[in-house]
């Protein structure tokens, strides 16, 4: 059959119309809301996870000292500077003594005066002793005379009274002497106390440490308890770690830690959890733990930020899947199970999870999920049980995922 130009044109136009209709149909069914949702599935595996805890914290010194005066005063001199290494007993700073030396001189003079008072009291005692000896001798003689009736009873009574008076005088002198001795003791103690105070104006290092800050300079006035210099023990640096309470299961002393410092992000330092604080932070909802370095890295600074990863013991064997597969549906956590081309939601209880995103799960209904089942891990949009789906190998274009 020979094609006339008219027939060719008809065929051409017909083909054009068909192509248009086909393109329209494709557009309507494969794109937009009517298109099936592309999903990517993953097989549920069986195995263990090595859970890890992650938290951030900052470098702190386990032992630090704030060295300052015990009484308010003016700083006379500061002898060390930030970064200096100090030994126990080394003078760090001195406070101004103001009138303390003069008060010591006054006390010294009082002590000398006390010695003189004691000498006077001793002399009075000797005088009283002599007086009593005389009175006793007189009494004895008068008693003999009275026995022979040479003197009247009244004269004897007068001698007896004289003796009693002398005895009382002696007691008085003795008490005076004691008083001067006590006075002397008091003055000595006062002087010792003042001397002690004078000594405490010298601020000395309590241990081997380095000076972390110098908070007051000569001439400034500080109150009792305010620090003039702060010291830290450089060998006692550790990380005070803050771990989110919700993910802190298993946090315990002794866990192995990897510490990355903000100043050296590429390196990690080994350490161990030294202590877990019994008090958690109620406001930030974090738990606190201290991680000690196996070897304190040189040159790190207190207050620096650190990222800590703690290694927890390997979990027991169970069903594993990526955490991206977990969805929340009507208030319960679970996965979309792909079976016979259809979707069904399986509610799960989640268990241990690793930092790389694998999570251990237990289906609430024991037989709902088996090893090897395909579950939806990625989807183009939120799914429901009657969503039309098409399974693809990769949802994101190649190259997007590294």
Partner 1 sequence: MISLAGRDILHGWSKYVLTGLGLGLLIGVTLTMAGVYRGMVDDAHALLGNSGADLWVVQKDTQGPYAESSSIKDDVVKSVRGMPGVAAAANVAYFTLQVSHGEKDVRAMLVGMAPGQPGAPGYLVAGRQPTRSHYEAVADEKTGFALGDEIGIRRHSYTVVGLTRRAVSSGGDPMIFVSIKDAQEAQFLKDNDAIVNDRARTAANPVFNRPGVPGLLEAVQNLQTSSRNVNAVLVQIAPGADPEAVAEPIRRWKHVSVYTKAGMEDILVVKLIANSAKQIGMFLVILAIVSAAIVAFIIYTMTMGKLREIAVLKLIGTRDRTIAGMILQQALGLGLIGFAVGKIAATAWGPAFPKYVLLMPGDAVTGFAVTMVICALASTLAIRVALKVDPGEAIG
> In Å, how far from its chain's centre is CA 55?
15
**Cβ of residue 57: shortest distance to partner 1, in angstroms?**
11
**Cβ of residue 382: shortest distance to partner 1, in angstroms?**
5
Closer to partner 1 at the Cβ: 19 or 252? 19
Beta-strand pair 91-95/264-276: unpaired
Contact indicator for 297, 344 with CB cutoff of 8 Å: no
Question: Where are the extended beta strands (E) located within 27-160?
Answer: 37-43, 45-47, 52-61, 64-67, 73-78, 85-86, 91-95
Contacts of 121 by beta carbon, 8 Å cutoff, 6+ apart: 173, 176, 177, 179, 180
Closer to partner 1 at the Cβ: 167 or 345? 345
Contact indicator for 174, 127 with CB cutoff of 8 Å: no
Closer to partner 1 at the Cβ: 180 or 379? 379
Contact indicator for 156, 142 with CB cutoff of 8 Å: yes
Footprint of partner 1 (CB under 8 A): 6, 9-10, 13, 16, 20-21, 23-24, 27-28, 31-34, 40, 54-56, 221, 223, 225-227, 243-244, 246-247, 283-284, 307, 322-324, 326-328, 330-331, 333, 353-357, 377-383, 395-396, 399-402
**Cβ of residue 17: shortest distance to partner 1, in angstroms?**
8
Distance spanning both ends of the chain, measured CA to CA: 60
**Cβ of residue 402: shortest distance to partner 1, in angstroms?**
4
The Cα 259–Cα 308 span in angstroms is 5
The Cα 372–Cα 395 span in angstroms is 21
Alpha carbon separation from 71 to 55, 211, 224 (Å, rounded): 42, 22, 4
Closer to partner 1 at the Cβ: 161 or 284? 284
Q: In 254-366, which residue ranges form alpha helices assigned H by DSSP?
A: none
Closer to partner 1 at the Cβ: 6 or 99? 6
Closer to partner 1 at the Cβ: 58 or 160? 58
Closer to partner 1 at the Cβ: 123 or 392? 392
**Cβ of residue 67: shortest distance to partner 1, in angstroms?**
13
**Cβ of residue 277: shortest distance to partner 1, in angstroms?**
17
Q: What angle do CA 322, 326, 332 make, to 5 degrees?
A: 155
**Cβ of residue 285: shortest distance to partner 1, in angstroms?**
9
Nearest Cα to Cα of residue 394 among 34, 45, 38:
38
Burial 268-291 (b: 16+ CB within 10 A, else e): ebebbbbebeeebeeeeebbbbbb
**Cβ of residue 10: shortest distance to partner 1, in angstroms?**
7
Closer to partner 1 at the Cβ: 9 or 339? 9
* CA atoms lying within 13 Å on the CB side of residue 129: 7
């Amino acid at each position: 059959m020979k094609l006339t130009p008219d027939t060719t044109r008809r065929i051409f136009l017909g083909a054009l119309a068909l192509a248009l209709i086909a393109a329209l149909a494709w557009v309507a069914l494969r794109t937009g809301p009517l298109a099936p949702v592309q999903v990517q599935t993953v097989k549920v595996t069986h195995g263990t996870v090595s859970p890890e805890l992650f938290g951030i914290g900052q470098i702190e010194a386990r032992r630090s000292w704030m060295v300052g005066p015990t009484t308010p005063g003016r700083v006379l001199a500061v002898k060390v500077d930030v970064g200096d290494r100090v030994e126990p007993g080394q003078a760090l700073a001195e406070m101004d003594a103001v009138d303390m030396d003069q008060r010591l001189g006054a006390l010294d003079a009082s002590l000398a005066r006390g010695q003189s008072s004691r000498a006077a009291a001793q002399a009075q005692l000797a005088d009283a002793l002599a007086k009593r000896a005389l009175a006793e001798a007189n009494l004895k003689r008068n008693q003999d005379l009275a026995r022979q009736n040479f003197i009247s009873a009244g004269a004897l009574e007068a001698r007896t009274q004289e003796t009693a008076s002398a005895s009382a005088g002696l007691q008085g002198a003795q008490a005076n002497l004691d008083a001067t001795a006590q006075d002397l003791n008091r003055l000595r103690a006062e002087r010792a106390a003042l001397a002690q105070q004078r000594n405490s104006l010298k601020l000395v290092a309590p241990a081997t440490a380095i000076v972390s800050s110098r908070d007051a300079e000569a001439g400034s006035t500080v109150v009792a308890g305010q620090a003039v210099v702060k010291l830290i023990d450089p060998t006692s640096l550790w990380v005070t770690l803050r771990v989110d309470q919700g993910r802190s299961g298993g946090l315990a002393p002794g866990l192995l830690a990897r510490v990355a410092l903000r100043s050296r992000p590429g390196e990690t330092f080994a350490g161990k959890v030294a202590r877990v604080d019994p008090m958690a932070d109620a406001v930030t909802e974090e738990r606190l733990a201290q991680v000690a370095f196996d070897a304190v890295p040189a040159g790190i600074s207190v207050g620096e930020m650190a990222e800590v990863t703690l290694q927890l013991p390997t979990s027991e064997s169970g069903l594993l899947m990526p955490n991206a597969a977990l969805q929340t549906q009507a208030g319960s956590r679970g996965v979309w199970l792909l079976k016979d081309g259809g979707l069904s939601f399986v509610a799960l209880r989640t268990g241990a999870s690793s930092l790389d995103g694998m999570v251990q799960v237990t289906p609430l209904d024991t037989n709902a999920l088996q090893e090897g089942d395909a579950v939806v891990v990625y989807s183009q949009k939120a799914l429901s049980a009657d969503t039309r789906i098409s399974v693809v190998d990769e949802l994101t274009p190649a190259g997007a995922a590294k």
